[in-house]
């Protein structure tokens, strides 16, 4: 894919693939396939694997390899596939990118290590550029949160200067950082916001392309209505959807035991896509909590 194709696939609501598990804690590959099908049907032009949503911090290397293979195989070129590495040093990140390319993945999201703030903007830019010599790279700004705005912006500028194959950014820092980043860099690469619609709407006037959508696979009409408002440049209508549905949903799930991810896995079960289980020591919501979640979703008009 060239840069124009990549931006096209990252424009609009984008699905982030949460790894579904069965009650024994094993990956539910049928659930993976169900979630991919639902996301594509809901309008996502990309299937994205991430360290966080895809639970890579509690999966083995072999499981990550298998998740990547199953995702690429089942997507079957119906959407762009972004693979993800996990705290790899440069040589190991290159090995993973080489593997991801062999499966047919279109891009790799890099999340390099930074223990004890051991990296610099220059060493990170070199890391991204080296991996990008194998496969197009998406940078995730999660890595810059402890380092601050100035560090993040300098690293991104250096990385884009170092390689034209650094083609996309997924933002987790939000707020003023996201606005400055989008204004400065959107003409050079595709930029999507993570998480909630309010983060996308904050970035949007400055040049954000798409956003990670919670509802593209579970309540598709909400994702489509929000994006239709954005396409019309109707910021008031987009804000209304956030105020009436997206915002209250996140306000609710963030207060629940196990936080928002436990509830989103519950949504997968309520929509018949996968089971709600998460691997210990992560918390899995119980039957009563699932019923309460269903009631809240109905109240907000968010149950498919």
Q: What is the pLDDT along the chain (304 residues), one digit of tens a residue?
A: 888 999 999 999 999 999 999 999 999 999 999 999 999 999 999 999 999 999 999 999 999 999 999 999 999 999 999 999 999 999 999 999 999 999 999 999 999 999 999 999 999 999 999 999 999 999 999 999 999 999 999 999 999 999 999 999 999 999 999 999 999 999 999 999 987 899 999 999 999 899 999 999 998 999 999 999 999 999 999 999 999 999 999 999 999 999 999 999 999 999 999 999 999 999 999 999 999 999 999 999 998 7
| Sign of the dihedral through C-alpha 246, 249, 254, 258 | negative
**34-55 b/e (C-beta count within 10 Å ≥ 16 → b):** bbbebbbebbbbbbbbbbbbbb
Give which of 62, 116, 117 is closest to 86, Cα–Cα: 62
The model's pTM is: 0.96
Measured distance CA(266)–CA(98) in Å, rounded: 35
Assess contact for 187 and 207: CB atoms under 8 A: yes
The two structure tokens encoding residue 8 = 């096209």
| Number of CB atoms found within 10 A of residue 204's CB | 21
Alpha helices in 52-120 (DSSP H): 61-75, 90-103
Q: Which is the CATH superfamily of the domain at 3-220?
A: Aldolase class I (3.20.20.70)
For the chain, give every domain's residue range. 3-220
Q: Closest Cα to residue 108, out of 121, 95, 118?
A: 95
């Amino acid at each position: 894919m060239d840069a124009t194709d990549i931006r096209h696939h990252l424009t609009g609501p984008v699905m982030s693939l949460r790894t579904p598990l069965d009650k024994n804690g094993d990956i539910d590959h049928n659930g993976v396939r169900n979630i991919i099908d639902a996301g594509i049907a809901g309008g996502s032009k990309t299937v994205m694997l991430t360290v966080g949503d895809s639970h890579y911090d509690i999966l083995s290397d072999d499981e990550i390899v298998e998740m990547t293979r199953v995702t690429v195989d089942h997507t079957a070129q119906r959407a762009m596939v972004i693979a993800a590495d996990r705290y790899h040093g440069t040589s190991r990140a290159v090995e993973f990118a080489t593997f991801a390319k062999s499966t047919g993945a279109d891009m790799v999201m890099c999340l390099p290590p930074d223990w004890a703030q051991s990296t610099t903007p220059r060493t990170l830019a070199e890391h991204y550029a080296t991996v990008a010599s194998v496969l197009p790279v998406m940078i995730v700004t999660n890595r810059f949160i402890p380092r601050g705005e100035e560090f993040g912006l300098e690293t991104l500028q250096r990385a884009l200067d170092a390689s034209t194959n650094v083609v996309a950014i997924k933002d987790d820092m939000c707020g003023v950082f996201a606005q400055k980043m989008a204004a400065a860099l959107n003409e050079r690469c595709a930029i999507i916001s993570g998480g909630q619609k309010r983060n996308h709407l904050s970035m949007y006037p400055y040049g954000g392309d798409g956003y990670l959508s919670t509802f593209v696979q579970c309540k598709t009409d909400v994702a489509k209505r929000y994006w239709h408002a954005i396409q019309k440049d109707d910021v008031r209508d987009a804000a209304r959807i956030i105020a009436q549905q997206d915002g209250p949903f996140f306000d609710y799930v963030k207060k629940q035991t196990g936080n928002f991810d436990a509830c989103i896995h519950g949504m997968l079960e309520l929509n018949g896509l996968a089971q709600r289980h998460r691997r210990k020591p992560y918390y899995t919501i119980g039957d009563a909590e699932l019923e309460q979640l269903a009631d809240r979703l109905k109240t907000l008009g968010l149950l498919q």
